[in-house]
Amino acid sequence: MSFFNPGPSNISPETFKRVIRPKLYSRGFSSLELNKVDMIFSGDVNESNSSQRGLDSRELEERINWMNANKHEHGIPDEKIKILKSTLEEYVK
């Protein structure tokens, strides 16, 4: 990492709670859908190891792939999965 290339950044638990959730709500997610998103991503966002805490791009891709393959588990429609992915990608660099 350097000043000009800060390296990858993770979505912190605070950002997820205070920025991502409201943004998803404003983009049409219901409270139930937001709770399901929380459950799906909570293990990555809230990792106990502080150096790994937060959602990184690899974890994001893994969770989105899981959501696409397991729609019967969460019931979130394709269009909202796309919105979720694009919203999270705004914050993962």
The whole-model pTM stands at 0.85
Q: Round to whole Å and give the CA distance between 40 and 21.
A: 13
pLDDT at 27: 98
Phi, psi of 48 (to 5 degrees): -75, -30
Q: What is the DSSP string of 55-85?
A: B-HHHHHHHHHHHHH-HHHH---HHHHHHHH
Listed as own residue / partner, the contacts of 36-40 with beta carbons closer than 8 Å and 24 or more positions apart are 36/74, 36/75, 36/76, 37/76, 37/84, 40/66, 40/67, 40/74
pLDDT at 8: 54
**Block residue for tokens 């638990």:** 13
pLDDT at 53: 72
pLDDT at 50: 66
pLDDT at 52: 66
DSSP state of 52: T
| pLDDT string in tens for the chain (93-residue length) | 444 444 457 899 999 999 999 999 999 999 999 999 999 999 888 877 766 678 999 999 999 999 999 999 999 999 999 999 999 999 997
